Amino acid sequence: MREEGAAVFGAGGASGASGSVAASRPAAWRIVLATYSGENALAQAHAALPVFQNEGGVPEAFVEPRRRGAVIAVGAYDEPSSAAAQRHLARIRAITYNGRPAHPAAFLAPPEARPTGGDPELDLATARRRFGESAKYTLQVAVYESDRRAEAARLAEQAAASYRADGELAFYFHGPNRSMVTIGLFTDRDYDPQNNRYSAELRALLARHPKHLLNGMGVRERGPDGSTRDQPPQLVQTP
């Protein structure tokens, strides 16, 4: 969805003013409009910022550095469940450009100093209700399992919150025997199971997260020829 937004608005533009950087802003939950990673993440975010402020209809947007890159964000809230945060998020998602939603995948991300779980905003079970029925798929990047189910659930929630703090649209999901962590929401335009075709957005996410983790550790799997490789993340359907 973020890739689609970039296609609508373009990826060019002049870099934003230094005052648009959120380095001096107090830690808070933000509404994230776009995420950038890699060595040039901050420069890419600055270049795209004017597009989000002008064509994107969010003049108050700013760039905020993150541990693994940068985000274009807006707002500052102590709690994601507050009425003000939810109203602001709904207003951002309602913005249109050329008759299409401009920011359909905008989401609330915690400050990096607060990677805590237990928040319904991160619960995958509510994703389709909040993001729309077209959000059919998500990328499972980690599983937590333990004889102590509460501990596995806690670790999954913390991992999802940590990914959110890095600017990823992450979720946790508690199954009957294990807890999963997923990133992203994807539609039929992103994944064609008949041809095994992935969108550029999904391929970029796989490049950022090439390993599927079990209790925080990579898993090796053996192929038909006897060779081994890191187990990759798995695309799964949203509940």
User: How does pLDDT run across 122-151, given as a tens digit for each residue?
Assistant: 999 888 888 888 999 999 999 999 998 899
| Residue spans of alpha helices (H) in the chain | 2-9, 41-53, 83-94, 127-131, 149-165, 200-208
Supply the pLDDT for residue 113.
54
One-letter-per-residue 3-state SS of 66-113: ECCEEEEEEEEECCCCCHHHHHHHHHHHHCEECCEECCCCCEEECCCC
CB 135 within 8 A of CB 96: no
- Which class for 79: exposed (0-12), middle (13-18), buried (19 or more C-beta within 10 A)? middle
pLDDT mean across residues, the chain:
84
What is the pLDDT at residue 13?
A: 33
Q: Encode pLDDT of 10-64 as tens digits.
A: 333 333 333 344 445 777 889 999 999 888 889 999 999 999 999 999 999 999 9
- The mean pLDDT of 79-93, rounded to a whole number, is 91
Q: Is the pTM of this model over 0.75?
A: no
Cα 226 to Cα 216, 223, 229, 231, 232: the distances in Å are 25, 5, 10, 14, 17
- CA 216, distance to chain mean position in Å, is 19
